[in-house]
Structure 1
Amino acid sequence: MRFDEFQGFRQRQLSASPSLLDAAETNVYRALAPMRPEPPSGMTTVHRCDLARAWLRRFELPEEWSGHAMVCRGVRHGLGVVFHWLGAVQARLWLPGDVYPVYFELARAAGLRPASYPTLPAPALPESPTDHRPEYLLLANPSKPLGRYLSDAECAAAMSWLRASPHRHLLIDSVYDLGAPFAAGTRRLLDTGRAVLLHSVTKGWLWPRTFGVVLLGSAQAELAEAFRADPPTSAQLGLADRLLTEHGDVPRQVVDELAARAERLFARLPADVLGAIPTASRTCPGNYFFPVGIPAETLRRKYGVLAMPVSVFGESSWSGSVLTSLGDAVGPATAVARRNPPA
């Protein structure tokens, strides 16, 4: 069942069975709308180089990397530019098959024929033979719907994959990393000099398709001109400047709110269901995706919990499902109402 099909199914199930616990909402912008900062009221001139340096400072990366920090309109835009270049150089591309279907849409639009590897119930990196072609593997860290950061062993596996050929490189989608600096595993992979990092204000500041940075390596230097030729608008640059300078604490507030929502979800789950969620997913800061090793149909019929089948995220042979903590049933207003019932 694909995403659009599931949304229709979800609405029908909730209408027919109001007692179902909705653990299948995915729209974080709607769920956390009151937390999103307002855009600036006036227009100011903001330079991309200044924003790149501000982004590097925030994430404790060397400012001398600013020449490789390409300002873009978010991770989707950044991947689109990178994928078109990969097509031009006839690169091989590996994508996680059960994370984000848009990865494949962007790759195919760029003329690529990506291969896939699974991440559920744990990432299993490809073991294909190497050749002379450039080869890129996309990792998400943290990863949804896995709901956690890559482990030390998984980062070591990615580094081993790189070492098998000098033509291999990583693309790291860090959009779900709401902390600063980035996770230790991401920094270790960056230190290989063979990784491209993608990040944006999409999740931490709740502003999708506005501003992001693609941190290129030396092997992708020729991509710089493509990014410079396709910049964000002046309004987007002004908003990005406001987010980074005046609203730097918003990602931490988002993490705190998501943690509170997760706890409210956990309090409402049957013990069997809660126990089937991996500890690393339950404790990952800022996470709102929780894989559970129980089929979605079983969760709905036996436990009264509406979860997402893994097919919503892409192809997978795993039989489990995914819960989220964004539904109205675990929102702040609902929690207050339960504590203070009407007289």
Structure 2
Amino acid sequence: MRFDEFQEFRQRRLDASSSLLDAAETNVYRALAPLRPEPPADTTKVHRCDLARAWLRRFELPEDRSGDAMVCRGVRHGLGVVFHWLRTVQARLWLPSDVYPVYFELARAAGLAPASYPTLPAPALPRSPADDRPEYLLLANPSKPLGRYLSDAECDAVVSWLRESPHRRLLIDSVYDLGAPFAAGTRRLLDTGRTVLLHSVTKGWLWPRTFGVVLLGPAQAELAGLADAFRADPPSPEQLRLADRLLTEHSDVPRQVVGELAARGERLFERLPDEVLAAIPAASRTCPGNYFFPVGIPAETLQREYGVLAMPVSVFGESSWPGSVVTSLGDAFGPTPAVSR
């Protein structure tokens, strides 16, 4: 069941049953709307290089890497630019099959034929042997709907995958990492020098498709063409002004978002039957800023036996895992919990 199909199904089920607990809301911008900063009213000119340095400072990365920090309009825009460049260098691309269907839409729009690997119930890296082609593996850290960061052992496996070929590189989507600095696993993978990191203000500041940074690997001459592509397709002056305001005047908003999501998560857990709560991995329940929680019970069973409306994994992409996903974004888990519909 695709996302749009599930949304129609969800509304029908909620309309038909006032006792069903809606644990399938996905719109974080609506749920956390009071926390979203207002755009600036001034028309001050903001330079990309200054924003790149401000972003590096916030995440405790060396400012002398500003030449590697490509300013863009968010992770989706950044991936579109990267994927078009990967086609020009005839790269092989691996995408997670059960994280975000838009990954595949962007890749195919760029003329790529991506391969895939699963992340549920845990990431299983591809085992295909390397060849002489450039090979890129996209992973999200933290990942949704897995709802957690990569473990130390999983980072070990990623590093081993890189070491199998000098032609291998990583693409890390860190949009769900709301802390500063980035998670230890992400920093470790950055230290390999073979990672391209993508981040934006989408989740931490609740401003999608506005501003992001794609941090290229240091001293990688083969990425010069990719850097040129980003410089030729910058954000608008209005987006740059908004990004400057978010990073300076509203630097505390991601912490507020994490706090609100933690509170919502606790309200969700209080409403779930014990058997359902026990089927959610502890790492997902305790991951800061998480609002997607994988449950080792099929969505049909959750609805029929427990009165909980959950998302089937197919909403996120292809998966053979039989579980489902619940979220903490519904009205019932807000600051003033609403009566269950």
Say whether residues 1:75 and 2:75 are aligned partners. Answer: yes
1:3-152 superposed matches below 5 A = 3-152=3-152
Give the TM-score normalised by structure 1.
Answer: 0.97
1:222 CA displacement: 2.3
| Secondary structure, counterpart of 1:170 in structure 2 | strand
Match of 2:318 among 306, 315, 319: 315
C-alpha distance in 1, partners of 2:211/2:264?
A: 27
Runs of 4 or more off by more than 6 Å in structure 1? Answer: none
Does 2:249 match 1:246?
yes
> Equivalent of 1:289, from 282, 292, 303?
292
Unaligned runs of 5+ residues in structure 1 are 339-343
The aligned counterpart of 2:279 is: 276
Contact kept in structure 2, 1:68 and 1:221, CA below 8 Å: no
* Structure 1: distance between partners of 2:164 and 2:137: 13
Q: Quick one: which of 293, 298, 301 aligns to 1:298?
A: 301
Give the distance between the partners of 1:90 and 1:271, measured in 2 at CA: 50
Cα distance in 1, alignment partners of residues 145 and 176 from structure 2: 11
Question: Does 1:257 find its partner at 2:284?
Answer: no
Partners in 2 of 1:60 and 1:330 — Cα distance? 34
Deviations 1:143-183 (A, max 9, x none): 00000000000011000000000000000000000000000
Letter matched to residue 257 of structure 2:
V
Whole-Å Cα distance in 2 between the matches of residues 128 and 37 of structure 1?
45
- Could you say what the CA RMSD is over the residues aligned between the two structures, in angstroms? 0.9
* Equivalent residue for 2:337, pick from 331, 334, 339: 334
CA distance in 2, matches of 1:221, 1:319: 43
Work out whether residues 299 and 307 of structure 1, in 8 Å CA contact, stay in contact via their aligned partners in 2. yes
Matched AA of 1:12: R
Secondary structure at 2:53 match in 1: helix
Shift of 1:66: 0.2
Q: TM-score, normalised by structure 2?
A: 0.98
Give, as a single letter, the amino acid of the residue that structure 1 aligns with 2:118.
P
Q: d(CA) in 1 for partners of 2:27 and 2:334?
A: 13
Over the matched positions of the two proteins, sequence identity in percent amounts to: 85
Measured against aligned partners, the alpha-carbon deviations of 1:70-102 in whole angstroms (never above 9, x if no partner) come to: 000000000000000000110000000000000
Unaligned regions of 5+ residues in structure 2, if any?
A: none
Look up the match of 1:341: none
Deviation at 1:323, TM superposition (A): 0.4
Hey, what does 1:165 align to over in structure 2?
165
> Take 1:226 and 1:235, find their aligned partners in 2: how far apart are those partners?
21
Deviations 1:42-70 (A, max 9, x none): 11100000000000000000001000000
* Corresponding residue SS for 1:244: helix
Q: 2:223: which partner in 1?
A: 220
Q: Which SS does the other structure have where 2:146 is aligned?
A: coil
Q: What amino acid maps onto 1:30 in structure 2?
A: R
Q: Deviations over 1:258-295 (max 9, x none)?
A: 00000000000000000000000000000000000000
SS in 1 for 2:337: helix
Q: Which amino acid aligns with 1:125?
A: L
Output the CA distance in 2 between the equivalents of 1:254 and 1:44. Answer: 28
TM-fit CA distance, 1:233: 0.2
What is the count of residue pairs matched by the alignment? 337
